[in-house]
Structure 1
Amino acid sequence: MNRQELLSRISINPHVCFGKPCIKGHRIWVSLILDFLASGMTVTEILEEYPQLEQEDILACIAYGAEMSRERFVEIPIDSTV
């Protein structure tokens, strides 16, 4: 899966989670997953805690964090569906 395909798994909707970047179709913040990884949780542990997620969702959070650390604007279309 390439970077763009991974980033397509992230959504931003001003009506969901205060407009914070989330895993598409879930109310799980990208920052939460990155915090889990930073605290030492493994991908397997996160997936056990959140069985509705897939490994690619975790990789998408990492890809989003990597893009943001480059101080580049990451174009994520605003999802206006409620």
Structure 2
Amino acid sequence: MQKITLHSSIVTDTFICHGKPTFKGTRIMVWQVLDMLAQGATREEITEAFPSISTRHIKAALTYAGLLAKEGYVLINLHEKIPA
């Protein structure tokens, strides 16, 4: 198993959701929250749909998406957590 922390709230694990980025401790994939945001969902609607995440997780998803858009990839340091 290879588990990588991409952000304090976002991880990838080859055995969870086929390695797609998820919120730590959940099986909620980051793309699901980003997709809801793109469709115009509010923070309240997202946290209602996914009660195990908070506004902090939504902000982490936006930060992650911003890094992908800016750089085209996200650098991963396997020895150091990325600050929230």
Looking at secondary structure, tell me which structure has more helix per residue. 1
Q: 1:76 offset after TM fit, Å?
A: 6.6
Say if 2:58 is the partner of 1:58: yes
Indicate if the aligned counterparts of 1:67 and 1:74 stay in contact, CA closer than 8 A: no
Residue equivalent to 2:69: 69
Residue equivalent to 1:47: 47
Q: 1:7 offset after TM fit, Å?
A: 2.0
What are the within-5 Å matches in structure 2 for residues 1-80 of structure 1?
A: 7-70=7-70, 71-75=72-76, 77=78
Looking at secondary structure, tell me which structure has more strand per residue. 2
Percent of matched pairs sharing the same residue: 35
Structure 1: runs of 5+ lacking an equivalent = 1-5, 78-82
1:76 & 1:43 partners in 2: Cα distance? 30
Q: 1:56 offset after TM fit, Å?
A: 0.2
Q: After the TM superposition, which segments of 4 or more aligned residues of structure 1 sit over 2 Å from their partners?
A: none
Normalised TM-score (structure 1): 0.79
Structure 2 SS opposite 1:12: strand
Q: What letter is aligned with 1:36?
A: M
